[in-house]
A and B are shown apart, each in its own frame.
Chain A
Amino acid sequence: MSVHRHGQTGPGCAGSCCLKVEGLGVNFGHEEVLRDVSFHLHCGEIVALIGPNGAGKSSLFRTILGQIPHTGSIEFQRAGGGHARPLIGYVPQSPVFDRGDPVSVYDFFSAAISRYPVFLPAPKRLRERVAACLRRVHGEGLLDKRMGALSGGELQRVLLALALEPVPHILVLDEPLSGVDIDGERQLMDMLDEVRTTFDLSILLSTHDFATLGQFADKVILLKNQVLRVGTPDEVLSSPEFQAVFHLDLGKGGRA
């Protein structure tokens, strides 16, 4: 099994903005969670991260978010050169919201973006700001709904709207398709496509849904503690590494 190094993950960052992850390593105690992970994420690109449970997908996300100490480097290069700390919008895996919680979408949203206490009457300007954020994901009708009453797709849209405020350089989504039905999935992928062109940002997401990879992902990274394979969806899904990791002869079109 060959480890593909960054040299093989496509052209360098030349000119355009991109996230460069080089030789990333993460250990939890004696357990090596990530080893020598390298890849580039270019602006406007949608990259899907696949791998079995425990492959280190969430750890990789949390490392990129700066929550876990690591070896190796994570660099962000602005368009036209120059390095900066990237602003990362994160859509965490959806928790199960307590259906009875009296938390409206406005409450949830404004608590995250504003210091104005949510238990006081909502100021008009703040309500309008939250409504404007929701409009970016066509979710303006959700403002006064309770979080617990949202469908899987609606919840993902609210979390996406929150990750887009402020507009980040990179959008990271942890299993956005889990708990979303077929229609919701279609809408969400259209939304992500719209978002990346509107805001010219890169999207990194993890998924177990291999059937739709080819429809939206520019690049797929197969991860199992290290990068096993990088390439187009077709390349990765038909690779021996993919078959070996999932112990299946799924080919493309399967769902694990």
Chain B
Amino acid sequence: MELLFAALLEPFQWQFMRAALLAVLVISPLFGLLSTMVVTSRMSFFSDALGHSAFTGIAIGTLCGLARPMWMAAVLAAAFALLFTYVRRRSNMASDTVIGVFSSTAVALGIFIATFGGGSFTQYNSLLIGDILSVAPGEIALLALILLGVVLLWLGSFNPLMLSAIHPALADSRGIRVFWREAAFSVAVAVVVTVSMTWVGLLVINSLLVLPAAAGRNVAKNMRQYHLASVLAALLAGLGGLMASYHLGASAGAAITLCLAAWFAVSFLFRRRGA
């Protein structure tokens, strides 16, 4: 027992692991919460597109010679999210088509800028995999602020957002207008994806926004169970992934994703059936 405890605590004698732990404690409930709405409103593909636009932002920021191009990326991703929300509301196109259009444009622009004038792409490789040790205290503070913002958004806007996602005609008839709430939600996803991309990795970040709720749907009967399952899964997978990454030396983002995927498989096998 003592041995187990020691093994659990051992990594946290290091400052960087304590920072990483703090980051995981902030980011996983954030992903767990956002995940419920991403899945309910069928925007699973959205965060993927945001990652692409965030990458473009970083390329532009680097081109402009900014010390931390991440901020440029966050602003760009937020603008991208707003534009996306607008186009989706104003057109009859299906969400996945709109996202596809935006996503490919963003990533093409990013690659074009990054390789402009014969530039090398390799400096961006770290973004694809992510590095948990790159977490800066300022970023954790920003994520904590976003978590607070998302909790407030959830308290004030979850009901209309959910109703509009599952039954738009009914929401309309009851005078529920969600454009700005939807925009706020999209911007929150955009900023969270951008800020955490540098340590989770562009290639797997989408899974953090999809898997917690996707697994939650397998076992939950209502919104309370759904949120509990999603947030808890994200938190446990975050901690498990961090430990696995420390002891096995693999990427934390990938380890967290694998934990979530394993939980999804289990939840699928024991999924609720019938009512």
Contact = CB atoms under 8 A, between A and B. Distances in A.
Interface string A104-126: 10111011101111111110000
A108 B174 CA distance: 13
Interface string A81-108: 0000000001011010110111110111
A32 interface: no
Nearest to B231: A119
10 shortest interchain CB distances as A-B pairs: A102-B220, A104-B222, A92-B169, A111-B159, A90-B173, A119-B227, A102-B226, A149-B275, A118-B223, A107-B223
B224 A121 contact: yes
Contacts, number: 86
A194 interface: no
B222 A100 contact: no
A131 B59 CA distance: 55
Interface in B160-195: 160, 162-163, 166-167, 169-170, 172-174
A102 B222 CA distance: 5
Contact of A103 (B216, B222, B227, B274): B222
Interface of B: 36, 40, 154-156, 158-160, 162-163, 166-167, 169-170, 172-174, 216-217, 220-227, 274-275
Contacts of B170: 90, 92, 112, 159, 162
A67 interface: yes
A112 B174 contact: yes
A118 B221 contact: no
Interface residues of A, number: 35
Contacts of A67: 172-173
A119 B224 CA distance: 4
Contacts of A114: 159
Given A104-B223, A117-B159, A119-B154, 13 more contacts: A92-B167, A92-B170, A103-B40, A104-B222, A116-B159, A119-B36, A119-B226, A122-B224, A144-B221, A144-B222, A146-B222, A149-B274, A159-B170
Nearest to B216: A102
Contacts of A103: 40, 162, 166, 222-223
Contacts of A162: 170
Interface string A134-178: 000000000011110100000000010010000000000000000
Given A95-B167, A118-B162, A102 B225 contact: yes
Interface of A: 65, 67, 90, 92-93, 95, 97-98, 100-104, 106-108, 110-112, 114-122, 144-147, 149, 159, 162
B221 A119 contact: no
A241 to B, nearest CB: 30
Contacts of A102: 216-217, 220-223, 225-226
Nearest to B36: A119
A146 B218 CA distance: 13
Nearest to B228: A119
A112 B226 CA distance: 19
A48 to B, nearest CB: 20
Nearest to A149: B275
Contacts of B154: 117, 119
Nearest to B214: A100
Contacts of B220: 102
A95 B164 CA distance: 12
Contacts of A106: 222
A67 B172 CA distance: 8
Nearest to A118: B223
A119 B158 contact: yes
A2 to B, nearest CB: 33
A170 B151 CA distance: 38
Contacts of B159: 110-112, 114-118
Contacts of B173: 65, 67, 90, 92
Contact of A147 (B36, B166, B217): B166
A162 B174 CA distance: 10
Contacts of B156: 115
A229 B155 CA distance: 50
Nearest to B220: A102
A97 B194 CA distance: 33
A255 B222 CA distance: 39
B17 to A, nearest CB: 32
A159 B174 CA distance: 12
Nearest to A150: B275
